[in-house]
Every structure is written in structure tokens, then in C-alpha cells.
């Protein structure tokens, strides 16, 4: 038993914790599933296929970006988002290693 972990998330888990929190919402999961391989989508495209208003989508995109699940870049008037594949791969590999080593 690790009683320490029951009161606060340890430092090494903070970044991953934010990923899980970001992924723990169905709207955000659905946004992520709309991305094809290597694709970049602007906000308008995501709003167009979403059931939510633009401010709501913008809110979810912000959470995903802050959790480093998505990257974004402004090009002219548009803001493009894409999946941070490297970070997600690293994150899930870490979780996988934790499962193997400690559980």
C-alpha cells in the first residue's frame, strides 16, 4: 500500500493525471476521434461536425491543449489543432510500464 499517494498526486504523475482528466469527457473523446492520421483541423471544421456551440468547443480544445493532448498553431486568421502523438505515445507507454512493473 502507498498511503502517500492517497492524499496528493505525486509529481511524476501530474502531467499524466492532466491527460486522463482531459480524456475523461465524452465530448473531448469525440473531438479526438475525428482526427485522421497526421491531420490538422481548424476550429471551424471541428465546430462544424460537433453538436456543441463554438464557445463550448473552444473550451474543450483549450483543456486538451493545456493537457498537451493537442497542439495548436495560428495560421493567419485560423487556429489549427493536431494530435500530440509523441506525447500521447510516451504517456501510454509510461502507464503500460507502470502496469508491468508495479501492478
| Interacting residues with a second copy (CB under 8 A) | 1-3, 5-10, 13, 17, 20-26, 29-31, 33-39, 41, 45-46, 49-51, 83, 85, 88-89, 92-93, 95-96, 99-100, 102-103
Least Å from the CB of residue 89 to a second copy: 5
Q: State the Cα–Cα distance between residues 11 and 42, nearest whole angstrom.
A: 33
72: contact with DNA by CB under 7 A: yes
Helix H, strand E, coil C: the string for 34-98 is CCCCCCCEEHHHHHHHCCCCHHHHHHHHHHHHHCCCEEEEEECCEEEEEECHHHHHHHHHHHHHH
**Which one of 12, 56, 73, 96 is in contact with DNA (CB under 7 A)?**
56
Report the SS3 class of residue 8: coil
**Which one of 1, 4, 77, 99 is in contact with DNA (CB under 7 A)?**
77
| Residues whose CB is less than 8 angstroms from the CB of residue 25 and which lie 6 or more positions away in sequence, other chains included | 60, 63
Tell me, by CB under 7 A, how many residues bind DNA.
23
- Under the rule (CB under 7 A), what is the footprint of DNA? 25, 27, 42-44, 47, 52-56, 58-63, 72, 74, 76-79
Amino acid at each position: 500500500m502507498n498511503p502517500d499517494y492517497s492524499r496528493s498526486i505525486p509529481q511524476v504523475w501530474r502531467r499524466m493525471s492532466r491527460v486522463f482528466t482531459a480524456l475523461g469527457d465524452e465530448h473531448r473523446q469525440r473531438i479526438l476521434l475525428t482526427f485522421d492520421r497526421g491531420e490538422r483541423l481548424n476550429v471551424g471544421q471541428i465546430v462544424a461536425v460537433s453538436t456543441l456551440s463554438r464557445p463550448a468547443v473552444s473550451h474543450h480544445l483549450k483543456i486538451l491543449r493545456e493537457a498537451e493532448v493537442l497542439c495548436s498553431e495560428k495560421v493567419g486568421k485560423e487556429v489549427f489543432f493536431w494530435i500530440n502523438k509523441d506525447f500521447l505515445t510516451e504517456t501510454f507507454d509510461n502507464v503500460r510500464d507502470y502496469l508491468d512493473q508495479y501492478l
